[in-house]
Structure 1
Amino acid sequence: MSAHDNHGDASHGSVKSYLIGFVLAAVLTIIPFWAVMSGGMSPLATGLTVVITAVLQVLVHLVFFLHLDGSKGQRMNVAAGLFTLLVIAIIVVGTLWVMWNMNYFMMH
């Protein structure tokens, strides 16, 4: 048995799943690019479009390219991913909160 034969329980994608992931990733890249370049939406709507498509883009990459799903062998990976998202959310929200407070108290 060579080193390439030992894949464990990891799932590998098919060409079809990679193509679906590629098309979804391309569409989720084009949508915010169009929203920003057209300038036809309000700044809030443009920002929300970019954020929502970015989150969906991450999910597409996790499912179609990194093959993270809810199967028994992947549960620890999903738990680690959720913990990472929680830490990132705490950091981003905390940073925005501190910056808003600094701006509010320095400008008023």
Structure 2
Amino acid sequence: MSNQHAESSVKGYVVGFIASLILTIVPFYYASTQSLSQAATYSILFGCAIVQVIVHFIYFLHMEVKTEEGRWNFISLFFSAIVVLIVIGGSIWIMWNLNINMAM
């Protein structure tokens, strides 16, 4: 590993850390001060959470689609997310139907 690669890696981690810090502080500020409506606070919280997930994927997990390895990592992440959503959705569906059919 060259020195230039190590410096760019550290720079990327610092940028990712600062972005994560900002994306954590902003929702905490609006949630604690309650200066916005509840819907606006939830929107900011959800938006910052989505952006923070993207920041973590890019800066910390190095999920980039520019390289062949990065594309395969992204495809496997996408497949895993679909499987998890199917398992969670199916479990909720089963529990909902059990609750409806057992409540008499």
TM-score scaled by length of structure 2? 0.69
Give the 3 Å change call, closer, same or farther, for CA 38–89 of structure 1 in structure 2: farther
1:77 aligned onto 2:78: no
Q: Higher helix fraction: Structure 1 or Structure 2?
A: 2
Which secondary structure does the structure 2 equivalent of 1:14 belong to?
Answer: helix
State how 1:1-108 maps to structure 2 within 5 Å. Answer: 14-70=9-65, 71-87=67-83, 91=88
The one-letter amino acid of 1:41's match is L
Aligned to 1:8: none
Give the 3 Å change call, closer, same or farther, for CA 81–18 of structure 1 in structure 2: same
C-alpha RMSD of the superposition: 2.8
In 2: Cα distance, 1:53 partner to 1:87 partner: 25
4+ residue stretches of structure 1 with deviation over 4 A?
87-90
In 2: Cα distance, 1:26 partner to 1:49 partner: 15
In 2: Cα distance, 1:67 partner to 1:84 partner: 17
Q: Which ranges in structure 1 are unaligned for 5 or more consecutive residues?
A: 6-10, 103-108
Alignment coverage as a number of residue pairs: 90
Give the 3 Å change call, closer, same or farther, for CA 48–85 of structure 1 in structure 2: farther
Q: Which ranges in structure 2 are unaligned for 5 or more consecutive residues?
A: 100-104
- Answer 1 or 2: higher relative contact order, Cα 8 Å, separation at least 6: 1
Larger deviation: 74-83 or 43-52? 74-83
